[in-house]
Amino acid sequence: MDLLEPIIKPYAWGSHEALARLQGRATPSAGPEAELWMGEHPAGPAGVTRDGRTRTLRDLVSDAPERELGADCVARFGGRLPFLLKVLAADQPLSIQVHPDRKQAHAAFTDQELSGGEGPYSDDWPKPELLYALSSFEVLAGFRARAEAAAVLDGLGVDRLYPVVTLLEGECDDNALMAALRALLEWPVRDRVTLVREVVRASARLADGPGPHREAYGAVVRMARHHADDPGLVASLLMRHQVLDAGSALYMPAGGLHAYVRGVGVELMAASDNVLRAGLTTKEANVPELLRITDPAVEVPVVRPTAVDGLRDTHVYECPAEEFTLYRTELTATAVPLVPSAGPRIALCATGAARLSGPDGEMLSLRPGDSCFLPDSDRGITVSGSGTLFVAGTGLAVHRP
């Protein structure tokens, strides 16, 4: 059991309050704090001290992959931790984005390397992800039904959008959604600002009305404060707008178009940084590649927790990703087995206090915001305390035939 020193990513959309409060630091923080990274991803490997020696978790894993990850994990994913655990704290909207699946990422990254290494892919891995809402969390996730998307755009009363509305109403399959997305993101530059401003003005009028889509219109107005004149504001109306209640979880498969708008959550993903962006961002966008890998048929389900057999206070959030699975335990004074019991694991104390105990008498206490790495060689761990403990593990046990 190794206490981690996570990495804070100071992206501009981050909160000055949420991560500092979680970790018990003074608020507001000096600058925005967007993500707390707990993993061995090369863009931000967590620190760890073992046997008096401080190093990164990445170095620890690379020195002895089978001891740290286990033979099954190494056989499937090689000598790397296949998941990255984060706490995400968004005070401003994140970009409209999509992530590749394994085949797409491998092919695109290989082609990129052969052509000189310049391009939007940082690795050859997929990036499905699971978001657990610690607070109310506003998201744009997946496409609306075609007819609904047409009604949302038509409801604006913006004449310039008539061809897109006609396109959505005239087609009978999901290709119309992709054609509409392409039209909005590639809107002629000479007319783009005028269109976006008309849409924002119409959205402001409708956000205070009784219509069924007033919350989506309201989101456009709020996002425009941070991304004025961005065509992504118009494109966002093609996407399903929802607000997750605290305690809800959402699974984002590869190919699913999405944008996280505001909130605090635990995010678990495959250990990749492959992001294709197309709006609501100051970072580099790649509209053609985003359009190529976006799948309009992808569903973005809310994931319901399932109680782990024999442990009524431990629940698993199962999803199709083999790289990761998320577990949540509501701690009590009675010690219970840590789940999962083997493989590489990262535990995060979200509230209260957690006490992890090993069969040899080793103990580790976690306060809110603390996290630890448990190698495959650490078996027979129990946990007790109060509050909520999240544990990230691989999805191999869940998905093994």
pLDDT of the chain, 401 residues: tens digit per residue? 999 999 999 999 999 999 999 999 999 999 999 999 999 999 999 999 998 899 999 999 999 999 999 999 999 999 999 999 999 999 999 999 999 999 999 999 999 999 887 899 999 999 999 999 999 999 999 999 999 999 999 999 999 999 999 999 987 777 899 999 999 999 999 999 999 999 999 999 999 988 899 999 999 999 999 999 999 999 999 999 999 999 999 999 999 999 999 999 999 999 999 999 999 998 889 999 999 999 999 989 899 999 998 898 999 999 999 999 999 999 999 999 999 999 999 999 999 999 999 999 999 999 999 999 999 999 999 999 999 999 999 998 764 43
- In angstroms, the Cα distances linking 392 to 33, 346, 372 are 22, 5, 11
> CATH code at 375?
2.60.120.10
Rounded to whole angstroms, the Cα distance separating 2 from 46 reads: 11
- Residue 322 and residue 254 in one domain: no
Exposed, middle or buried by CB within 10 Å (0-12, 13-18, 19+), for 170?
exposed
Same domain assignment for residues 226 and 156: yes
Q: Give yes or no for a contact between 16 and 31, defined as CB atoms under 8 angstroms apart.
A: yes
Q: Are residues 16 and 134 in the same domain?
A: yes
* Residue 12 located in a structural domain: yes
pLDDT at 104: 96
For residue 150, what pLDDT is reported? 96
CA atoms of 111 and 142, how far apart (whole Å) = 28
Q: Is residue 299 part of a domain?
A: no
* Residue 401 confidence (pLDDT): 37
* Residue 1 within any structural domain of the chain: no
Q: Is residue 74 part of a domain?
A: yes
Domain with 189 in it: 148-235
Does 100 share its domain with 213? Answer: no
**Nearest in space to 388 (alpha carbons), one of 40, 211, 133:** 133
271 with 289, same domain?
A: yes
- 210 CB-side CA count, 13 A: 0
Domain boundary residue, one of 197, 212, 235: 235
Instruction: Based on the fold, state whether residues 12 and 104 are members of the same structural domain.
Output: yes
3-state secondary structure at position 221: helix
Residue type present at position 150? A
Strands (E) across 45-135 are located at 47-50, 53-56, 83-90, 97-98, 129-133
Same domain, 25 and 120: yes
Nearest CA to 123 out of 138, 133, 113 is that of 113
Considering the domain boundaries, does residue 346 fall inside one? yes
pLDDT given at position 400: 44
Beta pairing partners, 263: 90
**How far apart are alpha carbons 210 and 224 in whole angstroms?**
21
Nearest Cα to Cα of residue 40 among 89, 6, 9: 6
Is residue 369 located within the same domain as residue 323? yes
- For residues 68 and 187, state if they share a domain: no
Do the domain assignments include residue 90? Answer: yes
Q: What is the pLDDT of residue 244?
A: 96
Query: What is the total count of domains within the chain?
Result: 3
Residue 26, Cβ neighbours under 10 Å: how many? Answer: 8
CA-CA distance, 83 to 69, in Å (whole number)? 11
Q: Token digits for 90?
A: 């968004």
Task: Give the largest Cα separation in the chain, rounded.
Answer: 72
Length of the chain: 401
The reply to whether 310 and 162 lie within a common domain is no
Please write down the HEC assignment for all residues of 324-374: CEEEEEEECCCCEECCCCCCCEEEEEEEEEEEEECCCCCEEEECCCCEEEE
DSSP state at residue 115: T
Look at residue 398 in the predicted model and tell me its pLDDT. Answer: 60
Record the pTM. Answer: 0.94
The answer to whether the beta carbons of residues 109 and 121 sit under 8 Å apart is yes
**What three-state secondary structure class fits 170?**
helix
CA-wise closest residue to 280 among 237, 331, 343, 250: 237
Q: Does 278 share its domain with 310?
A: no
One domain, residues 204 and 64: no
Assigned token pair, 36: 């707390």
Is 266 inside any structural domain? Answer: yes
In a domain, 324, yes or no: yes
